[in-house]
Amino acid sequence: MERKDFIEKVGLSAAGVLIFGCMQSCSKSGSAPEPTTNNNSTTPKTIDFTINLSIAPYTVLNNAGGFYVDPVNGIIIARTLNNEFIAVSSICTHQSVTVEYQGNSNRFYCPGHGSTFTNAGAVSNGPAALALKQYKTSLANSNLRVFS
């Protein structure tokens, strides 16, 4: 192989690796802020992220009874009719259906099989037997922090 051919082939291979690597790390899209995540399954997941309530899709939380499900962290954030922010795991402990918030009933509800949970995530009606993990919230201006 000629030196020139060798350099061309090595150069193309290196460029391919760089482009592939960039596509891997740059493939996320959407305007919602990306919360901090820890995907290491051997350690507990640390939750700590902030959302801006003046930016969609979080503006639903400006209304009492509104809720937002964060698909990245699997957390449902709700604003109670008393204007308190609450957050729990959005994954039902029965068979992993995504729960919703029912402001008028002041509870989380699973449309899968009807389990209900208190504002703190405790089971109030089965078949789910385990509570939803509760997270802390803190509001500063229009920034709502959700953390464990």
Q: Which residues bind ligand FES (CB under 6 A)?
A: 92, 94-95, 97, 110, 112-115, 127-128
For residues 75 and 110, which CB has a smaller minimum distance to ligand FES in the complex?
A: 110
Residue 70 Cβ vs ligand FES, minimum distance, rounded to whole Å: 18
DSSP state of 83: S
For residues 53 and 76, which CB has a smaller minimum distance to ligand FES in the complex?
A: 76
Residue 34 Cβ vs ligand FES, minimum distance, rounded to whole Å: 27
49 close to 58: Cβ distance less than 8 angstroms: no
Residue 69 Cβ vs ligand FES, minimum distance, rounded to whole Å: 14
Tokens of 70: 């964060």
- Dihedral angle sign, alpha carbons of residues 23, 24, 26, 28: positive
Tokens of 117: 């949970």
